[in-house]
Structure 1
Amino acid sequence: MKVVYVTTIMSGHGHGHHDHGCSCEGSHEPAERGVEYGLYQRIDLDKMQCLNESRDGDGRLVFKPWDQRKDRDKYVESDADEELLFNIPFTGSVKLKGVIISGEDDGSHPAEIRLYKNIPHMSFDDTGREPEQAFRLNRDPDAQLEYPTKIARFSNVQHLSIHISKNFGDENTRIYYIGLRGEFSEAHRHEVTICNYEAAANPADHKVESIIPQTNFIS
């Protein structure tokens, strides 16, 4: 399995992100950036699952608007160990182009993610299979690092599973934001076939055996 290392800022900056003291608050943020990360609106949240979350329902809180990516009030934290598994159904077809994972600047930040495509209701027992792509992460408290996907492998995604397999050393993992960048297509709807049923059958339209009843007259 090939693990991809990403060490560059993918938001218009030309420098690396190893210097955690770097402040990018004054840098220009393109307006379309938030639009690109709008796939969270295409998630079927009622059917989304997050396995090993410490509080039920917290997993869906990290899929939020771009301008809320640094919000620390909503987050998900793992329960029994450092692993988390997100099962993300979309309301149509997605071409996934990039992922952002943001947490604390400490040992609870995810250190590795594995992406799986179109495996609904995935469990931890299924994570032994080969993922479509895996990434080693850097700590990213400001949600600036994008991990670009191999688009050919993620061009027809109805369901995405994200496995957080390890963090930077803490017992539990905490995530504030997961950003998904890509294109969305509406699901194809099957046309309804309308059948017209005759109220009374027309013999001329049907091949039927002719049955001539015999009439018996009683004298």
Structure 2
Amino acid sequence: MSHNHSHGNCNDESHDHDHGIPEGEGPRDILYARIDRPNVIALNSESGNGPEVIKPWDQRLDEAVFLESDADDQMIIRVPFTGSVKLRALLLKAGPADQTPAKVSLYSNVDHLDFSDIAGLKPTQEFNVAQGREVGEYHVMSAKFPSVTSITLFFPASQGADTTRVYYVGFLGQWSEKRTEPIVTVYESKPNLADHEKIQGLQSNFSAPPT
């Protein structure tokens, strides 16, 4: 079978194949199962706290569940992943009509971003959002999103309504496991080694002069 679990080093033609995603989850490189869904957060949302719009592929057109902005037409959605993602595209269904966001700004690997922070921060990439009942696919510049552990979406304004509404957020890309343990192990072993050498050196110097 074509299940290659070699830590993201898939150099063959099937590099974006299904990494154990269940049947019916849509495109082969859909990242629904790689989103840390319980920790998705929405700011300035009246109708939910975030995870509601991270839906399985077969529910992408469902309009019964959505996020709608509260105090004004701005909204932030922060989406963490369970590993490192090479992002290819944002999938977005919003609206209807003038409740569609005018644009969406994407921020890669920025933790705890809120409305006061966002004014001085340049987005990694942004898109104008088209009105429509289908899911829009917004292809990112992959070189700007090579190793994404979280993505923050900022909707700065609606297309005329008092509130912004979002039905579905999804992503396409390649997922690999976070490789933090080997890095931590190497980091810890180097200082220990240096400390041992230093102590031995000092001891030999002190014991050298005659009494």
Identity of aligned residues (%): 35
Kindly name which structure, 1 or 2, has the bigger radius of gyration based on alpha carbons. Answer: 1
Q: C-alpha offsets along residues 47-66 of structure 1, whole Å, 9 cap, x if unaligned?
A: 22110010342x21111111
Residue identity opposite 2:35 in structure 1: I
Pair 1:40 & 2:32 matched: yes
* Distance of 1:86 and 1:122 partners within structure 2: 10
Following TM superposition, the consecutive aligned residue runs of length 4 or more in structure 1 with deviations greater than 6 angstroms are none
Number of residue pairs aligned between Structure 1 and Structure 2: 167
User: In 2, are the aligned partners of 1:96 and 1:154 still within 8 Å (CA)?
Assistant: yes
* Distance of 2:48 and 2:129 partners within structure 1: 26
Structure 1 partner of 2:20 = none
State the TM-score, normalizing by the size of structure 2: 0.71
Cα deviation, residue 81, structure 1: 0.6
User: In 2, are the aligned partners of 1:101 and 1:140 still within 8 Å (CA)?
Assistant: no
Cα deviation, residue 89, structure 1: 1.2
Structure 2 partner of 1:135 = 127
Cα deviation, residue 71, structure 1: 0.6
* Distance of 1:37 and 1:111 partners within structure 2: 27
* Distance of 1:52 and 1:156 partners within structure 2: 28
User: In 1, are the aligned partners of 2:101 and 2:129 still within 8 Å (CA)?
Assistant: yes
Q: C-alpha offsets along residues 56-91 of structure 1, whole Å, 9 cap, x if unaligned?
A: 42x211111111111111111110011110111111
Cα deviation, residue 35, structure 1: 3.1
1:183 maps to which of 164, 174, 186: 174
Pair 1:92 & 2:83 matched: yes
**Structural mapping, 1:163-182, within 5 Å:** 163-182=154-173
* Distance of 2:95 and 2:105 partners within structure 1: 20
Structure 2: gaps of 5 or more residues? 1-22, 186-202, 204-211
1:74 maps to which of 52, 65, 71: 65
User: In 1, are the aligned partners of 2:99 and 2:165 still within 8 Å (CA)?
Assistant: yes
Structure 2 partner of 1:149 = 140
Higher helix share: 2
2:108 maps to which of 93, 112, 117: 117
